[in-house]
Structure 1
Amino acid sequence: MGRRRGLRWPAALLVFLVVLPACTAGGQQPPGSPSQQTTDTISGAPLIPEPTTLPSELPPSVPVGEMQDLAQQAERLAQELPAQRRPTPIRQAPGGTRWQAGQPYRGYFADPDLVRHGGRWYAYATNTSHLRLPTLTSTDLRTWTPLTDAAGGVLDPLQPAAWVVSRRGGQSLWAPGVAKVGDGWTAAYSAPAGTDGGERHNCIGLSRGPSPAGPFRAVGERICYGQAQLGVIDPDIYIDPTGVPWLLWKFSGVVNRRPAGIFVRQLSPEGTGFAKGSQTRELLTLSEPWEGDTIENPSMIEFRGVTYLFYSANSWEDERYATGYAICAGPTGPCVRQNNGDPLLSTAAIGRLGPGGGTAFVHRKSLRMLYHAWDRVGNQRQLHVAGFWQREDGTLEVVDPG
């Protein structure tokens, strides 16, 4: 796991300037109806253009593993980079599997996202315990308790948009992404907006709140892609070092036309929709054998001058699910897979079953990841915190799997 590996450049790293049609967030679509398609007025780019080839290598100023020139490495090391600490293990404290106010929780909590505010960590996950946006809080990343209201009761901080189709009052939401954008907080989520060809058609909704505890209210238009039967899911909000917000997500692909991929587009300064004049760019496309039929759950972070894109791949339902990563030249790429194209976190590598759905974060000068793994396949996906070490060439090794 700590051994350095040579870098294998992808034979065909492609970018597609795809624009997602924004569907109006007016009334709720009746179940069984296809998703509405409209023309995006922000950009005139075609919905599914011909692909254009990206460079298969990153710019020389970006660390790219062992193929980087030694002189360039020395120049980078001579720069004023923040120090990093070797991460110490963070073990999850015991807790119950029932969602109870004031009680430590150690139950189902999949696809976690994480923010820090006011000396407290807030973790968000795919719907569980009949909550639209289940939220846990912690002061030490070890013991987690459900978010509560002023009266001490369990709090669900999200009110989804009217377009969300659910048999349980909008609780079929998953894989959220939350971040401070402008003078408030934006929470993005995946949700069904109807059906297409007998399949659930998914869109992404945006909401805004005054704090990481919400309340989050729907804003802007839903983000849909009608030509992909399963739509778009797994939003992640990345704030780059200059303070510009970006939305990343999974595109589910078009049968017999293009595979699943990870996309990015700049958000407005208010976090209520895409920035005017912005365009969508593809960062990664399904490529490696271990990725199976899909890649998803992006998480982007900048650490010590390097932009990392983490992602999950394969079937989330079993132990084949795993986490890979790429190094990017910036938020819009290009991005190049690392670790010889192999996953960074996998069942075989770390002994956790199906590690994925993670979000990267920096804690006490260490790069870490909050992710889920099965306690036993098909039972519960529980929280873990992994710790990474950044090598001199910018690549990563797993110090502790959590």
Structure 2
Amino acid sequence: MTRPRRKLLRTLTLALILTVTAVVAPDALVGPTEAQASTGSSSFALADPSTVQAKDRTYVTYGTTVGAGAGPRCGARAGVTLYVPFLNHGSGDTVGMSHCAAGDALPSGPGSWAVDNGAIWAPGVASFNGTYYMYYTATKAGTGQKCIGLATSGGAKSPFVNRGEWACPGGGRWAIDANPFVANGKLYVAYRDDAITSYPETGISIVQVRSDGSAIWSTRRDALKSTDLKWDTENASGGTHVIENPSIFVGGEGRYYLLFSGNNWRSARYSTGIADCGTNPLPATRCKLIKDGANRPYFGYTGSGGLGPYRGLPGNHPGPGAMAVIYTEDNRRCVVWAWYNPATGKRHPIIGELKRDSNGFYVA
């Protein structure tokens, strides 16, 4: 989770054509085929991206709140805060990343349960049975505690309606960075759940939800804890051992995998790990880190200041995190993530293909 962005980074070159559908896991437990596409980055500063396909077959990428001066805008109101800004791009089988904000998916803000006119972070969106479910992070009113709210809509670009607080642990612990996904005809949510740990540790849980988006808390399972790895604290500032921004995907042979971010988001060290969660969307035991994942991230910046990841990413930008899976209409597997520009303090979305070879997963 990152803080809201207020200025635009200098324009970056991009050329991106992808065949993409909503950010949900496929119902069938089969490994997605390899996508055939290039990658590219948006020049619009948008942190914590989540991408879905709208009913009009265009594509929508949501992100963290931006201030009134953030731009450019191509449909979004000028001169106002965009609580859940979104980029609208592509159509049908062609998805090109946009450079401008097309609208605000939650113009009413985070709702009465949260700080009035407060920011929204890391909105995760999925389509399920004709409804779009948005799980977002905000600050609980009267506190500094970060919690998760729920909003729903009949369309990806229609204003979402707040449904209230979704998860807010006792003792002031945080629940943030929720990412919904569909598996076996059911809706689930993966999220950072500090309730399963004690400070300074953090954790990730997965829970099944009902058709109204509310959680079936008896199904909640621990997926990962920061005590399972070491690189989340390597050269880190601050006391919290950060793992966050989870996303679940099917990686072949009916196995579910967890993508997550770790370390300080405002640094080149922010990176992405992968863990094997087994053959059930609700893992029977905690997910197992792959490719020496306890000691190094799976994906990350390979330059100076990085953490020596197992593999780099297209563009080799610093601080790649908040990676979330997108499936194509042909069950191809892609990812959207954000990278950090240390010169401006901004994060920018980028999309690529998540492929697999004999040595594991890679993005191209």
Q: Same fold by TM-score, threshold 0.5 exceeded?
A: yes
Match of 2:219 in 1: 279
Of the three residues 268, 275, 282, the one matched with 1:332 is: 282
1:86-105 matches, within 5 Å, as: 87-92=36-41
Matched positions, count:
292
Offset at residue 132 of structure 1 (A): 0.9
Q: Secondary structure at the match of 1:347?
A: coil
Match of 2:85 in 1: 134
User: Root-mean-square deviation (CA), in Å?
Assistant: 2.5
Offset at residue 372 of structure 1 (A): 0.5
| Letter of the 1:283 counterpart | A
1:300 correspondence with 2:248:
yes
Match of 1:358 in 2: 323
Match of 2:297 in 1: 343
**Between the two proteins, what is the percent identity of the paired residues?**
23
Q: Secondary structure at the match of 1:354?
A: coil
Offset at residue 191 of structure 1 (A): 0.2
Of the three residues 114, 136, 139, the one matched with 1:189 is: 136
**Does the 8 A contact of 1:232 with 1:251 survive in 2?**
yes
Match of 1:162 in 2: 112
Larger radius of gyration: 1
Match of 1:180 in 2: 127
Of the three residues 26, 35, 49, the one matched with 1:112 is: 49
1:322 correspondence with 2:246:
no
**Does the 8 A contact of 1:253 with 1:259 survive in 2?**
no
In the alignment, the residues of structure 2 paired with residue 256 and residue 299 of structure 1 have an alpha-carbon distance, to the nearest angstrom, of 23
Offset at residue 261 of structure 1 (A): 0.4
Q: Cα deviation per residue 1:54-102 (whole Å; 9 max; x = unaligned)?
A: xxxxxxxxxxxxxxxxxxxxxxxxxx9566235432223xxxxxxxxxx
Offset at residue 244 of structure 1 (A): 0.5
Extract unaligned runs of 5+ from structure 1.
Answer: 1-79, 93-104, 149-153
Match of 1:373 in 2: 339
In the alignment, the residues of structure 1 paired with residue 201 and residue 299 of structure 2 have an alpha-carbon distance, to the nearest angstrom, of 23
Q: Secondary structure at the match of 2:123?
A: strand
| Letter of the 1:189 counterpart | Y
In the alignment, the residues of structure 2 paired with residue 391 and residue 262 of structure 1 have an alpha-carbon distance, to the nearest angstrom, of 27
In the alignment, the residues of structure 1 paired with residue 134 and residue 363 of structure 2 have an alpha-carbon distance, to the nearest angstrom, of 31
1:206-221 matches, within 5 Å, as: 206-221=150-165
**Does the 8 A contact of 2:266 with 2:345 survive in 1?**
no
Q: Cα deviation per residue 1:157-194 (whole Å; 9 max; x = unaligned)?
A: 4433211104xx23x11001111133411111000014
In the alignment, the residues of structure 2 paired with residue 183 and residue 81 of structure 1 have an alpha-carbon distance, to the nearest angstrom, of 23
Match of 1:238 in 2: 181
| Letter of the 1:346 counterpart | G
4+ residue runs over 6 A deviation: none
TM-score, normalised to structure 2, is: 0.73
**Does the 8 A contact of 2:53 with 2:60 survive in 1?**
yes
Distance 1:288 1:116, change over 3 A: same
1:28-177 matches, within 5 Å, as: 84-85=33-34, 87-92=36-41, 106-117=43-54, 118-129=56-67, 130-139=81-90, 140-144=94-98, 146=100, 148=102, 154-159=103-108, 160-166=110-116, 169-170=117-118, 172-177=119-124
In the alignment, the residues of structure 1 paired with residue 268 and residue 38 of structure 2 have an alpha-carbon distance, to the nearest angstrom, of 23
Of the three residues 178, 195, 203, the one matched with 1:261 is: 203
Offset at residue 310 of structure 1 (A): 0.3
**Does the 8 A contact of 2:32 with 2:250 survive in 1?**
no
In the alignment, the residues of structure 1 paired with residue 261 and residue 317 of structure 2 have an alpha-carbon distance, to the nearest angstrom, of 14
In the alignment, the residues of structure 2 paired with residue 143 and residue 366 of structure 1 have an alpha-carbon distance, to the nearest angstrom, of 18
In the alignment, the residues of structure 2 paired with residue 217 and residue 81 of structure 1 have an alpha-carbon distance, to the nearest angstrom, of 34
Match of 1:24 in 2: none
Offset at residue 397 of structure 1 (A): 2.7
Q: Cα deviation per residue 1:221-265 (whole Å; 9 max; x = unaligned)?
A: 4310122x342110110111x210011111236885672000111
1:223 correspondence with 2:164:
no
TM-score, normalised to structure 1, is: 0.66
